[in-house]
Amino acid sequence: MLQDVIEAGNGDMIVNVGPQHPATHGVLHLVITIHGETIKKVEPHLGYIHRSIEKMCESLTYRQFIYVTSRMDYLSSHINNHACALLTEKALQIEVPERAQYIRVIMDELTRLASHQLWWGAMAMDIGALTPFFLAFREREMINDIMEETCGARLTMNYMVPGGVMFDIHPNFVQKVKEFNAHFKQKIDEYDELLTGNIIFQNRMKGVGVLSKEDAISFGCTGPTARASGVSCDIRKLFPYEVYDKVSFKECMATEGDSFARYVVRLEEMKESMRIIDQLIDNIPEGEIQGKTKAVLKPPKGEFYTRVETARGELGVYVVSEGATTPYRIKFRSPGFSNLSALDHIARGQKLGDLVAMMGTLDLVIPDIDR
């Protein structure tokens, strides 16, 4: 070990963070060069959880490949499924009944809430506060219960089908979602009390890992990471899908671009998600839950692209169709990959302890990066 440092000549030390490391929340491998406590370089090594989901999708039909994508960004599996369902609908011009659209959006927002709650807890744990994790899971558990009742699963819900949703909502769904919303509206202040106002937390977060607007654009960052740097990139606002154009919500933005801005944007986003759910939950129209589709889906020849806003940013699905029952070529543009690419840039010159805080606020989900 000492030999390495001597050979480097300038006192630099190379440390492998991961693939098994408590702060990377998965099998991310960062090779970091540090000088004392100061980071000089961060080099992410990917591929430890690569399952070639894109290739797998190419051998599955348009009805089947949706469900593989649940395993990409497992924290927003609903939204991943949604993107794929939207693509098939776009290619075949399937009308989605209004009831299904409402349900889809409510489910998306619940997923976003659950994902942000987990992020909040895990990020707090990264910077050394252990209690927030349990508070976050208290609320997330309620969402999981709602999902379990309606979709039959808690994490990889597999609820979307081309043309609508798989089942109708459970009779308790509306009431339970309302209960959750009322509960979480009170509890989100607790989040602020415990963490946001804490002086140690603010010192750890403010002015750390600053990502400028230009850099956010050039690294292709999306989602709350880019919005915290002042880039307006909410797909729900810019390219509304389903009923997002009928609900009023704010695109949460900040201009500082530091870790604290990313934190605040995500907290605000949780409040906006609750507003969206509030507007929709009372007005779910009666009617069909699935549009009319053929038994075998064969999109016409051509190229199709859809995008949705996941909890982490923009998820794009690009499909080349040869007119067969399976996609000829499929490619996902995952938000985590682009957001991770900014890590080296924002981490240079910061302290080792800040690295985990920055990784926490970038909200990295490793299966989403590797696919």
Looking at the Cβ atoms of 330 and 358, the one nearer to another protein is 358
Nearest CA to 211 out of 224, 193, 229 is that of 229
Nearest approach in angstroms of CB 204 to another protein is 6
CA pair distance 280, 115, nearest whole angstrom: 20
Looking at the Cβ atoms of 134 and 305, the one nearer to another protein is 134
255 is a site residue for another protein (CB under 8 A): no
Contacts of another protein in 298-357 (CB under 8 A)? 351-356
Contacts of another protein in 117-146 (CB under 8 A)? 124-131, 133-135, 138
Looking at the Cβ atoms of 189 and 214, the one nearer to another protein is 189
Looking at the Cβ atoms of 14 and 56, the one nearer to another protein is 14
Tokens of residue 169, six digits: 């909502």
Through-space distance between the first and last CA atoms of the chain, rounded to whole angstroms: 34
37 is a site residue for another protein (CB under 8 A): yes
362 is a site residue for another protein (CB under 8 A): no
Nearest approach in angstroms of CB 138 to another protein is 6
For another protein, how many residues bind (rule: CB under 8 A)?
32
Looking at the Cβ atoms of 42 and 53, the one nearer to another protein is 42
Long-range contacts of 149-153 (CB under 8 A, 24+ apart): 149/173, 149/176, 151/107
Tokens of residue 34, six digits: 């540090």
Looking at the Cβ atoms of 124 and 346, the one nearer to another protein is 124
Place of tokens 């169709």: 321
CA pair distance 249, 270, nearest whole angstrom: 11
| C-alpha distances out from residue 326 to 56, 152, 252, 296, Å | 11, 27, 38, 10
Nearest approach in angstroms of CB 232 to another protein is 31
* 33: number of Cβ within 10 Å: 16
List all residues 6 or more positions away from 34 whose beta carbon is below 8 Å from its beta carbon: 12, 13, 14, 15, 40, 352
Nearest CA to 256 out of 299, 193, 213 is that of 213
Looking at the Cβ atoms of 1 and 295, the one nearer to another protein is 1
Which SS3 state, helix, strand or coil, does residue 308 take? strand
* 245: number of Cβ within 10 Å: 11
Nearest CA to 357 out of 288, 228, 259 is that of 259
Tokens of residue 336, six digits: 């985590």
366 is a site residue for another protein (CB under 8 A): no
Of 12, 19, 21, 239, the one binding another protein by CB under 8 A: 21
Nearest approach in angstroms of CB 123 to another protein is 10
CA pair distance 67, 65, nearest whole angstrom: 5
Nearest approach in angstroms of CB 27 to another protein is 15
Nearest approach in angstroms of CB 202 to another protein is 10
Site string (194-213) toward another protein, x via CB under 8 A: xx--x-xx-xx---------
Place of tokens 């899971």: 137
User: Given the rule CB under 8 A, which of 14-22, 89-97, 150-158, 209-217 is the region that contacts another protein?
Assistant: 14-22
Looking at the Cβ atoms of 16 and 59, the one nearer to another protein is 16
Looking at the Cβ atoms of 244 and 263, the one nearer to another protein is 263
Nearest approach in angstroms of CB 130 to another protein is 6
Contacts with another protein by CB under 8 A lie at 1, 13, 15, 21-23, 37, 124-131, 133-135, 138, 194-195, 198, 200-201, 203-204, 351-356
